[in-house]
Amino acid sequence: MNIHWENIDTVLLDMDGTLLDLHYDNYFWSTHLPQRYADIHNVPLEESEQFLNNHIRELEGSLNWYCLDYWSDKLSVDMGKLKSESTVKQKIQKRPYVEAFLQFLHSQDKNVVLATNAHPIGLEIKLSSTNIAQYFDHVITSHQFQQPKENQDFWSCLNKHLQTFFNFDPARCLFIDDNITVLKAAQTYGIAYTLGIHQPDSQKHRQLENIEAIHHFDEIIP
């Protein structure tokens, strides 16, 4: 894929499923959390799975869906502690060619911004488990703006926030994310260049259609 880097000043990057393997998150929500919830509250695993699945579906795409404070209160568990347990934390892994791509962006003097829906607690767990924080000029979580990336208000707040640091121009911005709904929201706002990720979870095959996407970052490093 040929990216015209001379037309891009700012690169916005999602974290989960884009820079990091989404397998950690999928495993946590589908396997680790149901089992630990069943253990903590002394209920059958099947009951735990059903309760969590129903509630997760109700909130999909909302800020609470991503909010560990909300889930800690709702489930009466310490979500930060559960997400840090060694059996699941070891699954936090960078996707292929991530560091090479981030190093390339800095060699080209781009503004590199992490823009994630991750809750600050989860964000800190992941950044402390990897060495990618050093590559970002700015780290933005949607919880700062109280709006998820699916919402146009997030993009308006992001624009205003970044304008205080540099001349952020959506027409000269590339945004990479694995979430199709979020990519469409960015396009609607006016982000000129967007890219999807075909397989955000290394353990699950997915091939995006009708949207520009890559498998790995080596495809867009000249």
Angle at the Cα of 190 from the Cα atoms of 187 and 193, rounded to 5 degrees: 60
Low pLDDT (below 50) residues in the chain: none
Residues 157 and 183 in one domain: yes
Residues 13 and 36 in one domain: no
Contact 147, 185 (CB under 8 A): no
Residues 32-42: pLDDT tens digits? 999 999 999 99
Write down which residue in 60, 89, 118 finishes a domain: 89
Residues 111 and 11 in one domain: yes
pLDDT (0 to 100) of residue 210: 87
CATH code, 203:
3.40.50.1000
pLDDT (0 to 100) of residue 61: 84
Residues 79 and 109 in one domain: no
Look up residue 46 and give its two tokens: 């099947």
Residue 58 structural domain: 24-89
Number of residues assigned to the chain? 222
pLDDT (0 to 100) of residue 198: 98
Residues 99 and 158 in one domain: yes
Tell me how many domains the chain contains: 2
Residues 13 and 115 in one domain: yes
Write down which residue in 89, 110, 137 finishes a domain: 89
List % helix, strand, coil for the chain (3-state, nearest 5): 50, 15, 35
Write down which residue in 56, 89, 122 finishes a domain: 89
Q: Quote the CA–CA distance of 208 and 216 in Å, as a whole number.
A: 13
User: What pTM, to 2 d.p., does this model score?
Assistant: 0.96
Look up residue 70 and give its two tokens: 């909300």
DSSP reduced 3-state for 111: strand
Residues 73 and 136 in one domain: no
Residues 105 and 128 in one domain: yes
Residues 143 and 211 in one domain: yes
pLDDT (0 to 100) of residue 10: 98
Residues 140 and 194 in one domain: yes
Contact 196, 180 (CB under 8 A): yes
Residues 117 and 207 in one domain: yes
pLDDT (0 to 100) of residue 200: 98
Residues 120 and 183 in one domain: yes
111-116 and 138-141 as β-strands: parallel, antiparallel, unpaired? parallel
193 strand-pairing partners = 174
